[in-house]
Structure 1
Amino acid sequence: MLTDPKLKSQVDQLWDKLWSGGLTNPLDAIEQLSYLLFLKRLDDQENARQKQAERRGQPYTPRLPAEMRWSYWSRLTPAQAALDHLKTKVFPEFRSLSTDGESSFARYMQAAECKINKPSLLVEACNLIDQMHISQQNQDVQGDLYEYLLSFLQSAGRNGQFRTPRHIIRLKVQMVDPKPLERIGDLAAGTAGFPVNAYQHILAQHTSPDILEYDAEGEPHNLVGDLLTPLEMEHLKTEALRGYDNDSGMTMLRIGSMNLMLHGIDAPRFYYMDTLGKAFDETAEYDVILMNPPFKGAIDKDDINPTLPSTTTKTELLFLHLILRALGMGGRCAVIVPDGVLFGSSNAHKTIRQKIIEENRLDGVVSMPGGVFKPYAGVSIAILLFTKGAQTGDEVWFYDMAADGFSLDDERQPVAANDIPDILACWQHRHDPAFTAARTARLCDLKAQVAPLKAQRLQMQGEIHRLTFESVIAPDGDETVAAALAQDKARLAELEAQIAPLQAKIDQLSRQFWVKKTDIQANGYDLSASRYRQVEQDAAFYEQPQTTLNRLLELERITTQEIAELQAMTAVGCVQH
């Protein structure tokens, strides 16, 4: 979370200028900003190396030609000269830039295209980036700045792949809990949110508590990883994280690489690859896989890797098979899938669910409501957590999430309701008998508290039902019944206000549940939470049939009487006429 209001304001200004300057596609805007940030980063690194050599009294050989450096071309005047130099000198030079020991971003810059066409826009953007003093910010702030930029991706979903909300990424990472020397992969990495957060999680777990600081959202900062050994730190920064994306335009690869770089991974291992295709042959390569694979449409059968089943072309199913192939024995996975994967009735759907349960260990299922991925899509999704090669126990852990801390509409505004802390607590203590016993006792206590209130509510509903009828048949001008009805409705509202918080706690406590493996098998390996979760329905008020009939008869009597009175009045009027 970017907490510095000045930096946030500068990023907002930069975004507005790009937008008004014609870069209205969010992906294009972030890509162009990534180029500028990279060029500024190269110049800052060159300055740092030069100063270090001067302090040591050593000769300095520049790595970058002078005309490539930000400090040279960004100060050219007039503005048109700076833009011309950027387009004709700097960008073409990247085609010959050596990438030895450099990042994947430098590699993908070789095909970069400058889409900034207004000289004034370039100057304004460069000035704002200079004012941010990015190289002087700590690693947390640099990463948060880029994450804030990525939050502008509001409508850039493509082929079913869109940016996973950061709090959902963090939930998955915390549940899988990657370790320092593990190999962590994302086979459809997009903006590299999962590798970045896995990296941050490991640093946070290995930073002294007195160093850590937390922001308003509970995110840790000052992630120095001082408790990691030199070997662990070296592995984490160079070998631990690997990502792939098949964006042939390289936009996602550049954005993802920059995201990793600004979070502290100087040379990201982020590659262009169709991981479902024939060229990708990694097997038993990872200890942890964290993914939100694209799940829209299908892939051409001829393009599918022969190690994957030929019985389906649905990408959401093929990626599950791929994950099982790419994980090493004992490797762990948290993957987002559309609800259809949980209950689909085709042989392909049942086969992969059976494979996960019978040949591996299904550790848990978190069902999430539709709206979590809005404004991109309103589809309901779930997180599958499993371990390769282990054995599924007699029961499988489920959690039926109802709220994630944000409204489930296109606005996605913060709200109080949030099941994520409870999900993490339940997951971490799912095998703790004391935790389960305390939770069960709390549930029983809440039910005991709410039971008499619900009984009063039921009685009050009956009374309101009666008074509503009596208000209909009350003589004109008689306000006694109406006053009593209004009073009872006010009392009912007070009762509802007392019941609501207790019921909310009861609902949340019942969102965690266990399902027997035999029940899952008997239901065709259906993994949808709604099939198994038992929800107690409140008693609803229904009037006694005889009472309803008596009231209908009374209405008929009154109606007949009033019709007779009208007829009499009509008859009198006719005689007088």
Structure 2
Amino acid sequence: MLQNNSTLKSLIDRLWQNFWEGGIANPLTAIEQITYLLFMKRLDDLEAKRERDADFTGEAYNSRFKGEFTIPGTTETIDKNELRWSVFKHKPADEMLLHVQTKVFPFMKGLNGETSAFTKHMENAVFIMPKASLLVSAIHVIEDIFKEIERDATEGGQAFQDIQGDVYEMLLNEIATAGKNGQFRTPRHIIKLMAELLAPQLGQRIADPACGTGGFLLGAYQYILSDLVRKKEPSKLVTDEDGFERAAISAVLTREVKEILDQSFSGYDIDTTMVRLGMMNLMMHGIDEPLIDYKDTLSKSYNETGMYDIIMANPPFTGNIDKGDINESLQLPTTKTELLFVERIFHMLKMGGTAAVIVPQGVLFGSGKAFKALRQSLIEKAELKAVIAMPSGVFKPYAGVATAILLFTKGGETDKVWFYGMGNDGYSLDDKRNKITDSDLQDIVDQFKKRVSLSEVEGDRKGKHFFVPKAEIEDNGYDLSFSKYKEEVYEEVVYEKPDVIIGKLENIESEIGKGLAELKGLM
């Protein structure tokens, strides 16, 4: 994870400090403004790469920076090449600030055309930069950030970076607002684990009903591209620091593949800032027109059902919502978001579609009517494939709640449920989350893939993983907690008889008495 990169941490520290000292003290405002600059830089880098690739292959490519741009509110035009990061970063400070405010940022806002979703969500976006010196210092730091990310990608075995997500996560950590309103990122290695378990394929429709900065959508995107390389040129795969095989994007991203991928990922969020961040994040990774929208997927305004093959999500555990706002199709007798989101995800899936969703472990054993009804529906109306219990430190330093991954297929039939108790995720379970050697991630993937051949075997419940028959789960009130079914191993302790212990104590007392007598004789 890039958050373990001390150089990048210091750069993020410096960037945040520059914005704070420059007069932008609101955390989310700072994150949004920094993201605009990251996006400008990344957009130029992506276009430059596409232009080089086109020159190499001889294919025609119409660059976003080709032609003239009409400055809003005027009849004045400017060569779009002047709007590139690599060009405007060399301008004098005051001239550059005015140039970015009045030309580059308006160009960026309308990047995909007047009718695009990106333009709609960027309509009210404002570029706030109190002084030219802040812009100059921010540009220098961002240049260094991208150099460090490139170095980390080359030397650290990270062939694919969630740039916006990494910077966002580190900023949240620095400004101590992580977890507010449920806005904290799922660690990248957990996203990779869930993608590996779901194994999304090219052409499938993939969604996240509470997508934030789009980390899960990028995780699925990354898996699909790596899987295409695995099938075509497996020698180009590299194993990353978490043990997952990954490949560079360009290896298989043909025009045909890109057109399919552009229509494959859908995300929703109720925070306009998150929608903007999510859209820019996907665009920074080559998805030109992301299907991310501002929408409350629990509300009456959302009615998509049976549309998606794959859903990956870590919906917010923010407590309760207003009963009058809940969509009528959601039948659970509750206002708790952690329950309603799982029901919503079930409805969003196509018949035969599969979801991996993170829930607080209380969902697995809660005794309330709605808790039990949800678990019963997952058993009776779906194939509940797996329950993976995760330790409470996985989401530190943002939150200490213990969580679990539920993996289920809509319309399937549950016969047995596979349970796994994760002990380590490859990082220390304290607030520092330092990389460690112990990790269950690869074992989870391996054992999950083997579970079909082992499904007739009851399994040893003393270990990390085992099957539990549906009937047993029903008998236990649909309790899905790992500890309910794990057989604890107690080591028998043999104590000495009381008279032996008393004898030993008497001997000790005698020795102490002798020692005291000797001390007195010396005085």
Same fold (TM over 0.5): yes
Cα distance in 1 between the residues matched to 2:333 and 2:324:
12
8 Å Cα contact 2:243/2:442 also seen in 1: no
Q: Which residue among 243, 263, 267 is the counterpart of 2:267?
A: 243
Structure 1 stretches of 5 or more lacking a match?
A: 441-506, 570-577
Cα pair distance change 1:316/1:132, threshold 3 Å: closer
Query: Which residue of 454, 471, 475 corresponds with 1:522?
Result: 475
Is residue 161 of structure 2 the alignment partner of residue 143 of structure 1? yes
- Which residue matches 2:445? 424
Question: What is the CA distance between 1:542 and its match in structure 2?
Answer: 1.8
Deviation at 1:268, TM superposition (A): 1.0
Mark the CA change 1:552 to 1:419 in structure 2 (over 3 Å): closer, same or farther.
same
Deviation at residue 214 of structure 1 after TM alignment: 3.3
Which residues of structure 2 form unaligned runs of 5+?
Answer: 71-76
Q: Please tell me whether residue 222 in structure 1 is matched to residue 235 in structure 2.
A: no
Alpha-carbon distance in structure 2 between the residues aligned to 1:58 and 1:550? 93
Contact kept, 8 Å, 1:67 with 1:90, in 2: the verdict is: no
In the other structure, the counterpart of 1:259 is: 281
What is the alpha-carbon distance in structure 1 between the residues aligned to residue 187 and residue 349 of structure 2? Answer: 25
Q: Which has the larger radius of gyration?
A: 1
1:35-434 alignment, distance < 5 Å: 35-40=36-41, 61-63=67-69, 65-66=77-78, 69-70=83-84, 74-77=89-92, 79-87=93-101, 90-91=104-105, 97=110, 99-100=112-113, 104-129=117-142, 143-152=161-170, 153-154=172-173, 155=176, 156-207=178-229, 208-219=233-244, 220-224=246-250, 226=252, 232-236=257-261, 238-247=262-271, 250-309=272-331, 311-393=333-415, 395-433=416-454
* Partner-residue secondary structure (3-state), 1:372: helix
Q: How many Å separate the matches in 1 of 2:435 and 2:47? A: 42
Structure 1 residue matching 2:14: 3-state secondary structure: helix
Cα distance change on mapping 1:405 and 1:46 into 2, 3 Å = closer
Q: CA separation in 2, counterparts of 1:46 and 1:364?
A: 42
CA distance in 1: counterparts of 2:423 and 2:60, whole angstroms:
60
> C-alpha displacement at 1:342, in angstroms?
0.4
Counterpart CA distance in 2 for 1:434 and 1:525 is 20
CA separation of 1:297 and 1:557: change in aligned 2, threshold 3 A: same
Aligned AA (1:221): A
Mapped partners of 1:515, 1:121: distance in 2: 59
Task: Provide the C-alpha distance between the structure 2 equivalents of 1:224 and 1:46, rounded to a whole number of angstroms.
Answer: 13
Cα deviation digits, residues 168-222 of structure 1 (max 9, x gap): 1111110111111111000000111111010110111111112223344445232
Q: Deviations over 1:313-357 (max 9, x none)?
A: 000000011011110101101000001100000000000000010
d(CA) in 2 for partners of 1:288, 1:58: 33
The letter for the 1-side match of 2:373 is T
Supply the distance in 2 between the matched residues of 1:323 and 1:147 (Cα, whole angstroms). 23
Q: Distance in 2 between matches of 1:353 and 1:435?
A: 23
- Structure 2-normalised TM-score? 0.81
Q: Distance in 1 between matches of 2:159 and 2:494?
A: 57
Structure 1 equivalent of residue 73 of structure 2: none
Q: Give the whole-Å Cα distance in 2 for the aligned partners of 1:74 and 1:271.
A: 32
The offset of 1:284, in angstroms, is: 0.1
Q: Do 2:160 and 2:249's aligned partners in 1 also have CA atoms closer than 8 Å? A: no
What secondary structure is seen at the aligned counterpart in 2 of 1:170? helix
The secondary structure found in structure 2 opposite 1:210 is helix
For 1:373, the aligned partner's letter is: F
CA offsets, 1:123-177, max 9 Å, x none?
122345567788x989987835444423403242222341000011111110111
Aligned to 1:17, the other structure's residue is in SS state helix
1:149 alignment partner AA: V
Secondary structure at 2:404's aligned position in 1? Answer: strand
- CA shift, 1:549, in A, is 4.5
SS of aligned partner of 2:393 = coil
CA RMSD of aligned residues (A): 4.0
Aligned to 2:181, what secondary structure does the other structure show? coil
C-alpha spacing 1:164/1:548, structure 2 compared with 1 (3 Å): same
Percent of aligned positions that are identical: 41
* CA offsets 1:498-519 (integer angstroms, 9 cap, x no match): xxxxxxxxx9x81011112111
- Report the alpha carbon displacement of residue 107 of structure 1 after superposing the two structures with TM: 3.7
Name the amino acid aligned to 1:325. H
* Equivalent residues, number: 487
> Are residues 407 and 287 of structure 1, via their aligned partners in 2, closer, same or farther at CA, if it must alter by over 3 Å?
same
Q: What's the CA shift for 1:543? A: 2.0
SS at match of 1:333: strand
Is this contact kept in 2: 1:99–1:107, CA < 8 A?
Answer: no
Counterpart-to-counterpart distance in 1, 2:265 and 2:319:
28
The offset of 1:47, in angstroms, is 7.5
Alpha-carbon distance between aligned partners in 2 of 1:57 and 1:397, rounded to the nearest angstrom: 50
- Whether 1:532 aligns to 2:485 is yes
Contact 1:365-1:385 at 8 Å conserved across structures: yes
Q: Residues of 1 paired with 2:143 and 2:183: CA distance?
A: 33
Q: Deviations over 1:94-141 (max 9, x none)?
A: 67x37439875444332222233232120122345567788x989987
Q: Does 1:512 align with 2:465?
A: yes
Instruction: Report the residue type matching 2:496 in the other structure.
Output: E
Query: CA separation of 1:435/1:103 partners in 2, compared to 1, >3 Å: closer, same or farther?
Result: farther
